[in-house]
Structure 1
Amino acid sequence: MKNLFYITTVFLGSLAMSSCSTHSPVNSANVASLIQKEEFTFVAERANPSGSTVTDIMHSLPGTNSGRLLNLDPGYTIEIKKDSLEVTLPYFGRMYTPAMDPSKNSYRFTSTDYSMVRSDGKKGTSVFTINTKDQQNPAQIVIQVFNSGKTYVSIDSNDRQSISYDGYITENRKPKK
């Protein structure tokens, strides 16, 4: 009976661990190509606010989880092209100078004047550091891309607490003709 319990526990544990991992829709060969071209789209799956203010508020709401990661709906992206940077990401955290228009309190902007530096990180990762120059509140975006396509993004800005996102990279959408 102990063996049956042990086998069932190990099986259910391994099933739970394998279902928790996510798979990138881009294979490793395409990831290397996207990194080399320096044109890709980051698709955010989770947000990780840095301040305790957001997590304290989340814990006070009924039916919320106790973790700090917030699962995001599809559609939140950073699209990097040769001539522009388009950021569409939600923001959760403390803002020091919030806008009166609530739609301007998230990261939604297009930048045509930015600098991007690529460097090699640990364990074969590629790290892109992007600094915007044409925004009212300049932001520094650090994108760390792993060989599997998994990506970690951190955004620091002068007017708010930093925030990070987890997701993956994919090819840019083709423009409609």
Structure 2
Amino acid sequence: MKRLNLILGLSLLFIGIQSFAQTDKETTVKIVADKNYVFVANSAMPMSNNDISKVLNMMPGGQGGASINLSGSQYDVRVTKDSVVAYLPYYGRSFSAPMDPSQGGIKFTSKDFTYTESKNKKGAYTILINTKDVKRENYRFTINISTNGYASLTASSINKQPILFNGYLDEPKKKD
């Protein structure tokens, strides 16, 4: 399963990305090294099963278990040295739902997390983030980053099926 997720993630990263890279190689290296970047989601792909495929087929322009376009939305994950702030949608099977419907999706701010970074020979990064202080459930993010800023993020937790997001890295906006 882990190997399948990696192969799927990498293949979607290189084949299915629909926008241009937002950062050059130097900027990507700098923001990853500084642990100060924003992952901007362009598409979501639930690790679908038959039930999810049926629901997605009913959506306008539904394509079954295919990718869901998030372009133009404000879905992102902000990573700094001392916090991870996630605001992502969730499509898939959840094994426990919040009582308040506005609490759905993957929305949290974490100040207590582990951050592991590795770099391969070609310069691509793999970052693992495990949260420890999210009230309802803790998340594990696996972010694969290419040298030109394209990225894929796999979000998993105990209470939800994994979901894959494709997008790009960006520098955080400077506050005036």
Sort the Cα spacing of 1:125 and 1:98 in 2 relative to 1 into closer, same or farther, 3 A: same
Q: Write the letter of the residue equivalent to 1:43.
A: V
In 1, distance between residues paired with 2:60 and 2:80? 41
In the alignment, residue 64 of structure 1 is paired with which amino acid?
G
C-alpha offsets along residues 80-125 of structure 1, whole Å, 9 cap, x if unaligned?
Answer: 0111110000000011010111121201110011110101246431
1:153 equivalent to 2:153? Answer yes
Q: Identify which of 31, 36, 39 aligns with 2:36.
A: 39
Q: TM-score, normalised by structure 2?
A: 0.83
Indicate which of 52, 55, 58 corresponds to 1:57: 55
Query: SS where residue 23 of structure 2 aligns?
Result: coil
Q: Which residue of 2 aligns with 1:98?
A: 97
CA contact (8 A) 2:54 2:64 kept: no
Aligned to 2:138: 138
* Greater helix content: 1
For residue 162 of structure 2, give the secondary structure of its aligned residue in structure 1: strand
Shift of 1:21: 4.7
Q: In the TM superposition, what whole-angstrom CA distance separates every residue of 1:133-165 from its partner, at most 9, and x where no partner exists?
A: 001311100111101100010011011101010
CA spacing shift, 1:62–1:127, aligned 2, 3 Å: closer
In the alignment, the residues of structure 1 paired with residue 107 and residue 121 of structure 2 have an alpha-carbon distance, to the nearest angstrom, of 30
Give the direction of change, closer, same or farther, for the CA distance of 1:103–1:21 in structure 2 (3 Å limit).
closer
What is the match of residue 29 of structure 1? Answer: 26
- What whole-Å deviation, never above 9, does each CA across 1:3-32 have from its counterpart, x for those lacking one? xxxxxxxxxxxxxxxxx8521121222111
Q: 2: distance between equivalents of 1:86 and 1:102?
A: 20
Q: Provide the secondary structure at the position in 2 that maps to 1:33.
A: helix
Name the % identity. Answer: 29
What are structure 2's unaligned runs of at least 5 residues? 1-16
Rg: which structure is higher?
1
The alignment's TM-score, normalised by the length of structure 1, stands at 0.82
Q: Mean alpha-carbon deviation: is it higher for 148-157 or for 32-41?
A: 32-41
1:67 to partner: Cα distance: 5.7
Q: Which amino acid aligns with 1:103?
A: S
Q: In 1, are the aligned partners of 2:48 and 2:65 still within 8 Å (CA)?
A: no
Report the Cα distance in structure 1 between the residues aligned to 2:58 and 2:75, rounded to whole angstroms: 26
Residues 151 and 122 (structure 1 numbering): CA distance in 2 closer, same or farther, change over 3 Å?
Answer: farther
Distance (whole Å) between structure 2 residues aligned to residue 156 and residue 30 of structure 1? 28
Count of residues in correspondence between the two structures = 157
> What code does the residue aligned with 1:110 have?
T
Q: Return 5+ residue gaps in structure 1 as ranges.
A: 1-19
Question: 1 CA distance for matches of 2:174 and 2:145?
Answer: 22
